[in-house]
Amino acid sequence: MHTLRLLWTANNETTLQRRQTRVNRRKMVQIVEMEELEFVHRFRFQRRFRLPGIVGCIDCTHVVFFIRKGYHSLNVQIVCNSNLKTTNVNPKFDGANLIHSRMETFMRKLHQNGEQVWLLGDSGYPQRPWLMTPILNAVPGSVEDTYTQRHVQARNCIERCFGLLKSHWRDLRYVICESNVTKPYY
């Protein structure tokens, strides 16, 4: 909702500057609390899914956007926590290029410093020391099968997060399309 207010009042430069400052202050508060939240989310994944050390789920989704000559789709990599809050967005690389992302660098540094934290990804991601993927073709009833079932249940957080994001932006797109905007924003 803050984004809509920001767009509607963008005609006045001083108003835009005041609102941008307010938004930046909120982001700074969130960044300061990030370490505490990471600690809390480790235990939420452990309590809900019995998977210790998980700080988030990672996956990619296609985001459709419109340009003058039609529409395009961008494959966006997103990380969310156990409360479906988006903690990282990377539109620059698709999931196959995870190695080149800031998230990979951040998680690698955590592991090098001895932190026992992991992200959950699907089988399309490469195996990494900080990224847990499901075990394909696990024998039913085995320890690997139990792990894979818990992994699938926990990783469902990112799928629900995508659903929430897409329904939210669908509403925003409807509002923008119904307005009397004659000049496209690029």
Contact predicate 64/71, CB 8 Å: yes
pLDDT for residue 146 is more than 90: yes
∠ CA(86), CA(162), CA(138), 5° rounding? 100
- Environment class of 87 (CB within 10 Å of its CB; exposed 0-12, middle 13-18, buried 19+): buried
Residue 170 lies in a domain: yes
* Digit-coded pLDDT (tens) for 148-186: 999 999 999 999 999 988 887 775 454 444 444 444 444
The tally of domains found in the chain comes to: 1
Task: Summarize the confidence of residues 97-120 as an average pLDDT.
Answer: 80
Residue 20 lies in a domain: no
Residue 91 lies in a domain: yes
Residue 11 lies in a domain: no
pLDDT for residue 34 is more than 70: no
Secondary structure letter of residue 185 according to DSSP = -
Structure tokens at 26: 């909120």
pLDDT score for 98: 61
pLDDT for residue 104 is more than 60: yes
Task: Summarize the confidence of residues 96-103 as an average pLDDT.
Answer: 66
| pTM score of the predicted model | 0.68
Task: Summarize the confidence of residues 86-114 as an average pLDDT.
Answer: 76
pLDDT score for 29: 40
Residue 5 lies in a domain: no
pLDDT score for 158: 94
Residue 25 lies in a domain: no
pLDDT for residue 16 is more than 60: no
Euclidean distance between CA atoms 108 and 126, whole angstroms: 14
Whole domain around residue 56: which residue ranges? 35-178
Residue spans of beta strands (DSSP E) within the chain: 54-67, 70-80, 86-90, 118-120, 131-132
Output the domain CATH number for residue 58. Answer: 3.30.420
